[in-house]
Structures are given as structure tokens and as C-alpha cells.
Structure 1
Amino acid sequence: MGINETNVKYEERLFYKKLLKGLIIASLLCIVLVGYGVYWAFFDMNRLPTGEYLTEETSPNGKYTLKAYVTNGGATTSYSIRGELVFNDKANKTKNIYWNYREDTAKIIWTDNNTVVINGHTLEVPNEKFDFRNQR
């Protein structure tokens, strides 16, 4: 076996290593993109239907307002409640924090400045959310 043959085999192995690394990276990228697509299409709370305005309650310190909307899914699905948190001190920026299926009324109680109870579900605002699709 000469120097040229050894060099060619080394370069072949190097090529296949690079090819394998490229395939692994491309596969991982595809998996990540498909995973994000599924999350975006089925679980992103920003894509919830708007619904019809139902009621609202403002926190004791006036920092937040929780607005409730009822959505009609049509003939094959039940009503749902969407809770939208309004940041009164940030130019009325909003964030969906509540989504529950088979409800058509919303009982909202603020227990303190940062804790709200919506139909029996306690949430610490602004970070906690309730989404029936993520409950097990």
C-alpha cells in the first residue's frame, strides 16, 4: 500500500465523516422545524379565536384587567372561554392566559394584586397560564 492509496482512503473517510455530520445537522434542523410547526398550529395561545366579549375585572391595584371572551366552536364543538390579560400600564398590551373548553360563563375573582381565580383555576399573573390542551 503506497502513500497515495493511504491518502485517498484518509480523504474518503474524511468526506464520509463530513457527510454524516451534515446529514445529522439537517435531520435535527428538520425535527426542530416540524416540532415548532406543530406547537404553532395546535398549542400557541396567540392563535386562539377572538370570541365575543363576556366580562372583565380589574386587579385591586389597577395594574391588570382580565377580560373574558366566549367562543362558539360551531355545531361539533362546545363553547370555550378565553381569558385575556391587559397590562394597563403598558399601553394596553394583551396576553392570553386562560383557555378552557366546555365553559360558557366566566367567574373572575382577584384575590390580590397578582393572583386571579378564573372559574376555579388560580393563576399568578403575568407569568402563569391555564390551557386545557396541556392538562393531563
Structure 2
Amino acid sequence: MTAHATVKGAKRKKIVKIVLIISFIFVGFVGYGIYWAFFDMKSLPTGEYVTEETSPDGAYTLKAYVTSTSLSADAVRGELVFNERKGKTKNIYWNYRESTAKIEWLDNKTVSINGHTLEVPNEKFDFRNQ
């Protein structure tokens, strides 16, 4: 093999590596975009306020909202409010084909929303992941 052929081979390998890296970055961005648009609970629609219930110890409040669009059935979003953290919130419930919310605190950290029992603040229910 000549020195010229070795240089060409090295350039070709470098180009292949760059193309692969760019492809992986592109696939990563597309994958994250799909996750954000369809599965991230932070990007749910706000909806109209329906009801709320506060935990027995007052540490949490669960607020329920119903979203209605002409293109799909109603859905209920449950937003957990951390009362001791100046109103920090977190979506913990999202269920399709519901227009009401029955919230019942079973104890200080266990809540039932329309029959789905969750341990707060870490558990979530999202119909898209069932």
C-alpha cells in the first residue's frame, strides 16, 4: 500500500465517524422531541379547574383540571401542589376519556384519583404509558 492510499483511507474513516456522530445527534434530538410532544407530563394542556382536595396533614393539594378539545375526548389532569414549598407544582395524573375527578386522600401520602391510587410525590398515572 502506498502512502497516498493510507491517507485516503484515513480521510474516509474520519468522514464516516463524523457522519455517524451527526446521525446519532440528529436521532437523539428527534427522539427527545417525540418524547416531549407526546409523553412528557410537563407539556400537558392546562384545562379548566374542576376540584381540589388537600392531604390530611396539609402538605399537598391535588387540583384537577379537565381539558376539552373538538378533536378528542375530554381528559383529566391532576396537579400536585407542594404547599410547604411555596406552591411548587407537578403533574401526577393524566387520563383520557374522563370529564370528572373524584379525589380521595387515603392517608398523608396516598391519594386516589378516579380509582387510581398513587403514592405522592413520586408516583404518576399517565394513560399513554399503560
How much has 1:6 moved relative to structure 2?
A: 2.1
Displaced runs of 4 or more, over 6 A = none
Q: Secondary structure at the match of 1:70?
A: strand
Q: Residue 117 of structure 1 aligns with which residue?
A: 112
Counterparts of residues 56-95 of structure 1 (less than 5 Å): 56-74=52-70, 76-95=71-90
Structure 2: gaps of 5 or more residues:
none
How much has 1:70 moved relative to structure 2?
A: 1.2
Q: Distance in 1 between matches of 2:93 and 2:58?
A: 19
Q: Does 1:45 align with 2:41?
A: yes
How much has 1:110 moved relative to structure 2?
A: 1.3
Q: Does 1:130 align with 2:125?
A: yes
Q: Residue 30 of structure 2 aligns with which residue?
A: 34
Quick one: which amino acid aligns to residue 26 of structure 1?
Answer: I
Structure 1: gaps of 5 or more residues:
none
| Cα displacement string for residues 43-97 of structure 1 (whole angstroms, at most 9, x for unaligned residues) | 22122111111111111221111000111122x4221111000011111011111
Q: Distance in 2 between matches of 1:6 and 1:125?
A: 68
**TM (normalized to structure 2)?**
0.93
| Cα displacement string for residues 83-127 of structure 1 (whole angstroms, at most 9, x for unaligned residues) | 000011111011111111111111111112221111111111111
Residue range with higher mean Cα deviation, 86-95 or 8-17: 8-17
RMSD: 1.3
How much has 1:31 moved relative to structure 2?
A: 0.5
Q: Secondary structure at the match of 1:97?
A: strand
Quick one: which amino acid aligns to residue 104 of structure 2?
Answer: I
Q: Secondary structure at the match of 2:30?
A: helix
- Give the share of equivalent positions with the same residue, in percent: 64
